[in-house]
Chains A and B, each alone.
Chain A
């Protein structure tokens, strides 16, 4: 019995907005949703809107690119990592490894000797990341809690170091001339126009949200919740915990690989330094800051973690100090995250996870 377990557990303060929204008639919910989605598609134009623009715009760097290169990636990655950490309750400190596998797969396949189109390389990136998830998960998922954390951390580092020391992956020099997605209709993926990446990326994010929502409310989701709340009890009840944990790893990894494929194509260049251990930690910070297990929470977390340091460029060298203090403050005053998980969604009890 550890100290953390023995303390009284707290229930998250409910956000009344969410409940009110759910009590609206279906048509109203649909139209509000549609308006929000439409507004999000126009995010690249937000800096031009009065007041809103003053809040969101990033001085010293282009908001459009911050949106596509960082915010978009962090949202996707946070959604993927949330499957592992939030849904299945597995602490993963090496998630950047899957992101790297996805990015490198796209990089290798679309540049140099292979020259595949991006659209063909992307599914392969997802597949490779998924395979990496299974390969890592099979031997390690029998480990509990923090043992898993340090092993996954090691995995992330192994991927980076291997890329750094493999000539066919470009070594430390990395890979450039990575293909862009094909143009569709009026949207051309060009160097000076990042907007189409957002339209593509946001669509991908919507699809991921849709799939994950379905998954969370399915048998798989309930099994994850059981594993998260009490693994031994779940095992006794006949849940094949290993299988479901492996699923969580594979699905999380696939989303990470997808984000990596988008990243490689957008920036057009990858090298091992892009996949440092610190990035894994920022990914995890995004998930927990936003609200572990809460889909909209982790999206918010991803946005904030990517956006705050860019918004704070005015603080110069002090901005990571500010970022660190903000992390502590948010955790101290909102330990469940900015938008906490709805406890009912766990389907088991009002208890918050302690493991």
Chain B
């Protein structure tokens, strides 16, 4: 037993597994909240996370003006400067992700609910104009000008169509989300300064080992991830359970039609849900870049699939379930890779999911955003 690799590296695997699991959990919150309210998989949530990591990148390199390396060494900062940089970048990521989620909801989802508005019409009209303009020229400036000219009249047409719209089947939401996520990832890949390559984010935090936990080194970035994630989730729980808007979210999750009749503005509740989910993804983006120092246009896809798995594992629609599911998945991946080899990591993750669903068909903690308590 003592000779087993898993035994010798158990605590190491546990520490890094929990850190990864918490990142999964934060992204899973976005899936779970939207699912709770709309009963649909927000497939584009992975790209909301992705744009958040780019928010961190822009904040660090452009706003704070930090280079990737200084004289071949990491650009470490310390003290109050470090705290300010980290907080500032977190806010940047949350703003970018939150805004992305709001645009996504109003462009790709709301029209499908038959409640399309001018904002979504303008964005869609602009995108239509943009892809139409590719016909005439490859120069981005001209493309944007053509798109801008087309946007106005086309948006008027789109708004008129939206006004007649009614609820679309659920699969239409899924495909619209897939289209949106493809467009977001490809937009970053095509028009980002480094296009498709990996973007490194400057490492401002020196990854010192803080303490030793049963022989495993616990690094400061893991500790920040743990504290940050717990803090954000507590804030979210308090928001959902204690505030007026939170009550609105629970009401819509429980029974949207009744909530509407009782005077809840369903569309703004949905918007807030997307905003919160986006902000959580932004927080996850900050944690992610803190630990892994990098991002890429397609970084969201796999992480999104894993996070959604985590959400389902814990009980989709359930905020605490997302936390539990994330940690279980992160640990299962790490332990499993150690026993069977890293190439089987995803197989192990999905088998764990399958086994859990066999015995608990609605996840470990069950569905619940609307039901009774959160």
Contact = CB atoms under 8 A, between A and B. Distances in A.
Interface of A: 1-10, 85, 91, 139-140, 142-144, 146-147, 149-151, 153-155, 157-158, 161-162, 164-165, 277-278, 281, 284-285, 288-289, 292, 315, 317-318, 320-329, 331-333, 335-337, 352-355
A10 B168 contact: yes
B27 interface: no
B128 A335 contact: no
Nearest to A10: B166
A331 B195 CA distance: 28
Given A157-B346, A288-B171, A315-B134, A327 B182 contact: yes
Contacts of A151: 350, 353-354, 357
Nearest to A281: B178
B176 A1 contact: no
Contacts of B305: 153, 277
B343 A164 contact: yes
A162 B312 contact: no
B157 to A, nearest CB: 10
Nearest to A292: B171
Interface string B26-50: 0000000001011111000000000
Contacts of A158: 346-347, 350-351
Nearest to A157: B346
A336 B168 contact: yes
Contacts of A6: 255-257
B273 to A, nearest CB: 11
Interface string B292-324: 000000000100010011001000100000000
Contacts of A2: 38-39, 256
Contact of A321 (B112, B128, B187, B308): B187
Nearest to B350: A154
Interface residues of B, number: 68
B256 A1 contact: yes
6 contacts: A4-B40, A157-B346, A285-B178, A318-B190, A325-B183, A326-B179
Nearest to A277: B305
A161 B346 contact: yes
Given A328-B107, A332-B116, A165 B175 contact: no
B304 to A, nearest CB: 11
Contacts of A1: 255-258
B170 A4 contact: yes
A265 B35 CA distance: 42
Contacts of B38: 2-4
A129 B161 CA distance: 44
Given A1-B257, A3-B252, A328-B124, A157 B350 contact: yes
A278 B301 CA distance: 9
B223 interface: no
Interface string B116-138: 10000000100110110010000
Nearest to B363: A147
B183 A328 contact: yes
Interface in B327-374: 343-344, 346-347, 349-351, 353-354, 357-358, 361-362
Nearest to B266: A3
Which 10 A-B residue pairs are closest in the complex by CB-CB distance?
A327-B179, A154-B350, A335-B168, A324-B183, A324-B182, A3-B256, A7-B167, A6-B257, A2-B39, A321-B186
A336 B169 contact: yes
B181 interface: yes
Given A324-B182, A335-B168, A284 B309 contact: no
A288 B346 contact: no
A3 B252 CA distance: 7
A6 B113 CA distance: 11
A4 B178 contact: no
B371 to A, nearest CB: 11
Contact of A147 (B116, B131, B361): B361
Nearest to A146: B41
A337 B350 CA distance: 31
